[in-house]
Structure 1
């Protein structure tokens, strides 16, 4: 799916500080449906976002899939035009489903260069980049709404505890997918 690595990238030596959203990287993530011993099986991944936590850069990646017969959805980025394929550094049309995300550090061994100084193989450009920006904005807006709902739940729990004369603070119940007490 990928072409030869882009060795002419201007920031090849320090790629982790030059990477930005919209870049396409070659990344190896173990796929248990195929041979996991073959580290040359780097696949194209789209950099959806990047964040710095405790001085380390983490990337939100979206895996590229072969284009099927199904029409793509609003949250998918389709790279299919000749110009977009060339700019992305790939050899065939590809689809990125932005709902299937993976967050990894730039120090992850899946980024280890194989014959090149950078895993960056290209970038999304033109109309596809505009669509990617729209998808990113929509996803951030939904994340903000979820955060507001969590905050409102905590405020409500605090008010109920205060009304019942219970101490507020560390005894707050925070909604979680499962109870830790069930596992102990």
Structure 2
């Protein structure tokens, strides 16, 4: 009988070639409050997208936190249920803040590589958190498309000129009382 062990490529040294949206990685996410402490601590970060720029792969990372404070909000993906956060490679309930995101090359030195697996991947979202992440991704992509359309319209407007005419007038001076205004 053949021994068929399931190999998860994101949990190997070749993780950079196999990561995709929904994977959770350990990354030294820079924070303003940790600026004077040296290198930031490694945090779980959600990969929202993997993009190709100039032949190099980049990951769009969303900041992960276990804090319940409302200081970091916007485009959030919550992983609250025990089964969900354990299967995602997390130790406790975590929320990923899509409003706080960073685009980094997959070769960036900020990824915290596990010595035993050779990978920065902690796990992967599944179920309801994965669906919530897709909704956040949709909103981010829609806003990106809207902004690109606005930039295109502005450029076209600058090239064609205005669709209206500006009439320049000199205001008439008020005549002193008792004098007639000649036309």
2:81 paired with 1:91: no
Shift, 1:143, TM fit: 1.1
Contact 1:30 1:36 in 2 (8 A): no
TM-score (norm 1): 0.74
Q: Secondary structure at the match of 1:13?
A: coil
2:59 paired with 1:59: yes
Q: CA RMSD in A?
A: 2.6
For 1:37 and 1:48, how far apart are their aligned partners in 2? 24
Q: Secondary structure at the match of 2:110?
A: helix
Deviations 1:36-68 (A, max 9, x none): 257xx3210000111011111100001101241
Match of 2:146 in 1: 145
Contact 2:29 2:63 in 1 (8 A): no
Match of 2:38 in 1: 36
Deviations 1:54-112 (A, max 9, x none): 11110000110124155x96720001101111121111111111111101111111125
Q: Secondary structure at the match of 2:77?
A: strand
Higher relative contact order (CA 8 A, sep 6+): 1
Larger radius of gyration: 2
Q: Secondary structure at the match of 1:21?
A: coil
For 2:152 and 2:125, how far apart are their aligned partners in 1? 35
TM-score (norm 2): 0.75
Contact 2:73 2:99 in 1 (8 A): no
Contact 1:80 1:93 in 2 (8 A): yes
Which contiguous aligned blocks of 4+ residues in structure 1 show a shift greater than 2 angstroms?
8-11, 29-38
- Aligned residues, how many? 154
